Amino acid sequence: MFRTLIILIFAILNHSTKPQSNQSFSNIVDNFIVEYEQLNIPNLELSYNHNLNAIDSLKDLERQEAFFLEYNSQLKSLNAQNLTKKEQVTKAVLDYEIQLNLERISLEKQWKTENYTIKGSKLYEEDLGKQWYAYFLKKWIDQSLTPDATFQFGLTEIEKVKSAIVQIQNEMGLTQSEFDKHIEDEVFFMQDKKEILEKYNQLSTIVEQKAKDYFPNVDQVPQVNIRAGTDRALAMAPAYYYNDTFFYNFFEENYDVRDMGWLYVHEAIPGHHYQNHMTSLYNLPITPLFGYMGYIEGWAAYIEQFGPELHAYKNSMDSYAQLRWDLIRSIRVALDVGLNYYGWSDDKALEFWKQHLSGKDDIAIREIKRMKRWPVQVITYKYGKNILDKLKGDITSPAELKRFHQKVLQYGPIPLSVLETHI
């Protein structure tokens, strides 16, 4: 009888070992969420001025530091082998955020201790400017990035995109002068606003149907609304997405119809609109606390390459339009580092722009002002796309791509380095 009782007790204890571990992790996550929200840590904003002005008091920073150190200790005591795959990813995100926040707190404590104040027109001119830039690079994109590596990445992407544009020109059998003349042909421009909207609605129907072959759960995504933008303050971008609506900006005399394909797939389906609703299906419990723009904008830039498969690009000129904007994105990567980390002047930045893209000085001046106000944000598109391209590899078949996209989306927006490790 005694032996039977001992065996029974042992069985109960042994049976409860793993569930206790998982339950312990669940409690850690639940407590982290509650206590993190109570800290009221300021959200990351586009403006670096806003972010520096929003730094908390030294007392609040010390309280934050104690919080992250405590949870760092709790997570290190866990046996990751007892966690499910989803829990392992959740733990990886928590580890990522703890280390990134400890780095932020160290920098902010130094800023507060020295009583620094904002004094310049760009981040490079601020006290600790280079340190701030290195941190914002990690916060906006991924903690694995360094400014020097990012600059070299931008240079590589510039040449890659320029080569792709030259390939289109060669396939068309046109000289440089003939190509330059062709891309300005009036056949590519429309003026009738009603006709443009109708064309977008037709495009939406086609793309949504084709997207089902390459992306999971498209049927669960509500219909996207399509509207012409009315806010000129948002005209710095050719289009944007907000509240289930794709807005395309048309404030000039002519509308370039070649941009319609890549704009729609980037902002609507299978871009931000689709991604936004997939996030509601797959989000980890902790990811709503944080923003991972490298993942979010990277996804929207990544799916542009599927324009031909989605029948969003009808010809080589539609592909050219996508590459033309991708070249702008690539130039911005190097320029952002140049302006905000290397200390380039506006003139040097404009000269760099002209080396790689001519006839777009108005866009260059606008973008230079944007990068000085909002350092790092413009890099999110290209770097996130690059990571997804690497993970995709040489997958080409619709069925395999659909499975790959399911894996990418299965945890919602997460840090890019965590995505690389766990997919």
Q: Tell me: do 103 and 183 sit in the same domain.
A: no
Q: In the chain, what is the greatest distance between 2 CA atoms, to the nearest angstrom?
A: 97
Q: Tell me: do 170 and 109 sit in the same domain.
A: no
**What angle separates helix 272-282 from helix 398-409, to the nearest 10 degrees?**
60
For residues 229-236, average pLDDT: 88
Domain boundary, last residue among 118, 135, 160: 118
Q: What is the pLDDT of residue 384?
A: 97
Task: Give the tens place of pLDDT for each residue, 346-383.
Answer: 999 999 999 999 888 899 999 999 999 999 999 999 99
Q: Tell me: do 191 and 328 sit in the same domain.
A: yes
Task: Give the tens place of pLDDT for each residue, 97-148.
Answer: 999 999 999 999 999 999 999 988 899 999 999 999 999 999 999 999 999 9
Task: Give the tens place of pLDDT for each residue, 249-259.
Answer: 999 999 999 99
Domain boundary, last residue among 118, 138, 161: 118
Band (pLDDT 50/70/90 cuts) for residue 283 is confident
Domain boundary, last residue among 78, 102, 118: 118
Give domain status of residue 351, yes or no. Answer: yes
Q: How many C-beta atoms lie closer than 10 Å to residue 349's C-beta?
A: 22
Give domain status of residue 202, yes or no. Answer: yes
Residues in the chain, total: 423
Give domain status of residue 141, yes or no. Answer: no
Would the pLDDT of 12 be above 50? no
Q: Tell me: do 309 and 376 sit in the same domain.
A: yes
Band (pLDDT 50/70/90 cuts) for residue 281 is confident
Give domain status of residue 333, yes or no. Answer: yes
Sign of CA dihedral 393, 150, 265, 316: negative
Q: Tell me: do 177 and 318 sit in the same domain.
A: yes
Question: How many Å apart are CA 47 and CA 342, to the nearest integer?
Answer: 19
Q: Tell me: do 214 and 252 sit in the same domain.
A: yes
Task: Give the tens place of pLDDT for each residue, 71-107.
Answer: 999 999 998 888 999 999 999 999 999 999 999 999 9
Question: How many Å apart are CA 275 and CA 301, to the nearest integer?
Answer: 12
Give domain status of residue 137, yes or no. Answer: no
Q: Tell me: do 106 and 153 sit in the same domain.
A: no
Structure-model confidence comparison of residues 124 and 233, the more confident one: 124
Quote the number of domains for the chain: 2
CATH, residue 52? 1.20.58
Name the residue range of residue 238's domain.
147-422
Specify whether the CB–CB gap between 48 and 54 falls below 8 A.
Answer: no
Give domain status of residue 129, yes or no. Answer: no
Q: Tell me: do 193 and 319 sit in the same domain.
A: yes
